[in-house]
Chains A and B, each alone.
Chain A
Amino acid sequence: MTFQIYHQLGHNYVWNLDSIRDDSTGDGVIIGPRSMERTKVEALDPEIRRAAIFDPQFFLPDVPKGKLDTYDFFPEIAADGFESDEFPETSAAVSADGCVKFQISSNFRYVTIPTRYAGGMPSDFIESQERLFVKPFLKACSDQGCKKKVILQLVLNDNMLRDEEYSADILNWATGFDAVRGIYIIAETSSLSKQVKDSDFLYNLLRFMARLRLNNLKVIVGYLNTESIVLSLADPQIVTVGAYENTRAFHIRTFQEGTGKQQGPRPRLYLSRALQWIDRGYHGAIIRRYPDGAALFDKNKYQALMFKPTFKWHFTKPELYKHHFLELSRQLRRIAAVEGRERYRYVVSLINKSMDVHKRMADVGIVLDGDNDGSHLGAWLTAANEFAQDRGWV
């Protein structure tokens, strides 16, 4: 099946909305209340809201970071504070009721059942999620006569995905609700590298997604960087693109208190043929040394702007991200147009060509560091091949 592209909204979400409107780079948005006040969500164009998914971001129910405190159903606000780690069940019902009401009245595409973040592999993961979120939310949906499809959010880490028994337990549980029609997966890797370089993580995630698809559940994968290209093999309904790095990789620290202001990254540009974002500091060498190096930079209106001498490169410049949305969405749309084995072959060809680009760069003496080179591509290819073997595509 084909899939849709959604923008994972975060800081400066207006760029995403502009890009969808001006460049048709997405089919909808995932709204994150941490970055968007309630009144701003309510003021969104009804057409955007109709296609949008609301992610309540209850990951840390006692930490209303950012704009989360503008939502009276956020657990800490609904409960008027709570002392222990335990989110009281009475408050869970109030919170669920308010959150469902908000999602229905906003006319979002689905009603999302949120999840709390669980590091490691807690033994009470399922029991806790069901008691505090799934049951109260399904009850609120039933009480409010909700006609919208319900999706269940799961935040999974690499250990959960790797452990066969733990992962099977989650699958057995998540596929056991008649009322739940889709799963909104957020997968957190313990690695801090800018690209996912862990083949096992990707393969385990692909396998998990495929098992959900076996159950005819919609699969929505959030907080994705360019690994959406590989994850498309598991036939998701929606993959995401994002602007700043904290919408392209999920790390719980983004939602924790007191993480302070961090130094911004160096400005980087997405090169679709390299399947990589590459620091501005390497661009000159690529143009000078790589055969027809300038052609390696995808040509579009943002590229034209950015390559003017007067352009001030900085990671806060919208052109970098609008360029990325345009080029990645083009790649993803081409992938979405083919299915199954054909999609696998197409993705593999993209990866192979990209590996060749990186090799040729190395051949002419361009030595990219680990956040800019093609060191993620071997892991992508391995995961894709392994998954294809499971599917009988090779």
Chain B
Amino acid sequence: MSHDDILSEYSEVSLLKRGGQRAVYRVTAPKLGVVVLKIGEYSSPQALERIRREVAVLRGLDSPYFPKNLGFETHGANTFILLEEYVPSRPLSECLGEFTAPRRALGLAQHLVGGLDLLWQKRVVHRDVKPDNILITSDGKPKIIDLGIARLLDSESLTRTLNAVGPCTPVYAAPEQLRNRKAKIDHRTDQFNLGMIFVQLLLGGRHPFDPRVVGRGESIVANILNNLWASEVFRGLNLPGPWNRLALRLLGNEPFMRYRTTAELVAGLGACEEKQL
């Protein structure tokens, strides 16, 4: 079944994003009204299983931090569709500048932790927290999208690949993802991803591992692997101590250097709140 065949069942179709094996549309569905329609292709039973897991996770969440799943179907031999709640929003990547004030960056981080913790409590790791996957709604609150590569820690791995890099977006990945060290991936991996966004906001939108910001290194990925981030530039912002400690913990090169529990992370964020500029 072609995309056009599927889309013919909906009206007011507009393409939101196309990437990899997925296309994302805003459509009007006969009974649901305006929704997000994702059409994708899967190449193997494992890939289909991964999508089913994403659906199961989303269906198990009832939170304003995640879009609601409204349907899942397979079409033909290798096509699937996902229907999700449509929320008027912009990806954070398009409005980073609105969150660069410390108070705004902190508030966003607190919301994101609130959302991610719902996943962590279910022993799910998002693995792809990045500005493109955070939608900012009209009230300035985030919605976390795209659990396509989320990992269920208590389930058997779907793949036993020998890839050098694990599933992730490399420039927002934690070192353990870049090294494909699956055994090290847990909620603290998402903390690293979140830490990069938090520090990026405070640096005025500049990526903390960008060689141009750090002043050395060959690439963002190489700097992540070598734990070379713009810590001196960050210190130069003269934020109070708790802010520096929070950044250092979140961007710890090894998971044990980050926060062991969400309660500790929340306390770290809370300490920043008490020491606002």
By Cβ-Cβ distance, the 7 closest A-B pairs, closest first, are: A171-B256, A215-B260, A172-B255, A175-B256, A168-B254, A172-B256, A172-B184
Cβ-defined partner of B260 (8 Å) among A169, A173, A216? A216
A173 CA to B182 CA, complexed, in Å = 12
Residues of B contacting A171 with CB < 8 Å?
A: 254, 256
How near does chain A come to B72, taking the closest CB pair, in angstroms?
A: 31
Interface presence of A126 (CB below 8 A): yes
Given contacts A168-B254, A172-B256, 18 further A-B contacts (CB under 8 A): A126-B183, A169-B183, A172-B184, A172-B254, A174-B256, A175-B255, A175-B256, A175-B260, A176-B186, A176-B188, A176-B260, A178-B261, A211-B256, A214-B256, A215-B260, A216-B260, A216-B261, A216-B264
A215 CA to B191 CA, complexed, in Å = 14
Interface presence of A217 (CB below 8 A): yes
- Chain B interface: which size bin? 10 to 19
12 A-B pairs whose Cβ atoms sit less than 8 Å apart in the complex: A169-B183, A172-B255, A175-B256, A176-B186, A176-B188, A176-B255, A178-B261, A211-B257, A215-B260, A216-B260, A216-B261, A217-B260
Residues of A contacting B188 with CB < 8 Å?
A: 176
Within 8 A of B (CB), among A118-172: 126, 168-169, 171-172
A216 CA to B256 CA, complexed, in Å = 11
A168 CA to B188 CA, complexed, in Å = 14
- Which residue of B is nearest A211, CB measured? B256
Within 8 A of A (CB), among B143-187: 183-184, 186
How near does chain A come to B150, taking the closest CB pair, in angstroms?
A: 18
- Which residue of B is nearest A217, CB measured? B260
> Are B256 and A168 in contact, with the CB atoms below 8 A?
yes
Q: What per-residue 1/0 map shows which CB atoms of B187-204 lie under 8 Å from chain A?
A: 010000000000000000
- Which residue of B is nearest A176, CB measured? B186
How near does chain B come to A340, taking the closest CB pair, in angstroms?
A: 16
How near does chain A come to B157, taking the closest CB pair, in angstroms?
A: 13
> Are A215 and B183 in contact, with the CB atoms below 8 A?
no
A172 CA to B261 CA, complexed, in Å = 13
Residues of B contacting A211 with CB < 8 Å?
A: 256-257
How near does chain A come to B37, taking the closest CB pair, in angstroms?
A: 37
Residues of A contacting B260 with CB < 8 Å?
A: 175-176, 215-217
- Which residue of A is nearest B264, CB measured? A216
**Number of residues of chain A lying within 8 A (CB) of chain B:** 15
How near does chain A come to B71, taking the closest CB pair, in angstroms?
A: 34
Of B183, B184, B256, B257, which is in contact with the most chain A CB atoms at under 10 Å from its CB?
Answer: B256
A169 CA to B261 CA, complexed, in Å = 18
Residues of A contacting B254 with CB < 8 Å?
A: 168, 171-172
A354 CA to B188 CA, complexed, in Å = 45
How near does chain B come to A312, taking the closest CB pair, in angstroms?
A: 52
Residues of B contacting A168 with CB < 8 Å?
A: 254, 256
A388 CA to B256 CA, complexed, in Å = 21
How near does chain B come to A301, taking the closest CB pair, in angstroms?
A: 46
How near does chain B come to A382, taking the closest CB pair, in angstroms?
A: 25
Residues of B contacting A172 with CB < 8 Å?
A: 184, 254-256
How near does chain B come to A361, taking the closest CB pair, in angstroms?
A: 44
Residues of B contacting A178 with CB < 8 Å?
A: 261
A168 CA to B186 CA, complexed, in Å = 15
Q: What per-residue 1/0 map shows which CB atoms of B231-269 lie under 8 Å from chain A?
A: 000000000000000000000001111001100100000
How near does chain A come to B152, taking the closest CB pair, in angstroms?
A: 15
A172 CA to B254 CA, complexed, in Å = 7
A2 CA to B260 CA, complexed, in Å = 23
A269 CA to B168 CA, complexed, in Å = 61
- Which residue of A is nearest B259, CB measured? A215
A176 CA to B275 CA, complexed, in Å = 29
A126 CA to B184 CA, complexed, in Å = 11
A173 CA to B256 CA, complexed, in Å = 8
A58 CA to B256 CA, complexed, in Å = 26
A171 CA to B256 CA, complexed, in Å = 6
A174 CA to B254 CA, complexed, in Å = 13
How near does chain A come to B184, taking the closest CB pair, in angstroms?
A: 5
- Which residue of A is nearest B186, CB measured? A176
A286 CA to B264 CA, complexed, in Å = 54
Of B186, B255, B261, which is in contact with the most chain A CB atoms at under 10 Å from its CB?
Answer: B255
A217 CA to B254 CA, complexed, in Å = 17
A313 CA to B78 CA, complexed, in Å = 84
A176 CA to B260 CA, complexed, in Å = 7
Within 8 A of B (CB), among A40-87: none
Residues of A contacting B186 with CB < 8 Å?
A: 176
A176 CA to B257 CA, complexed, in Å = 11
A175 CA to B259 CA, complexed, in Å = 9
Within 8 A of B (CB), among A295-333: none
- Which residue of A is nearest B249, CB measured? A214
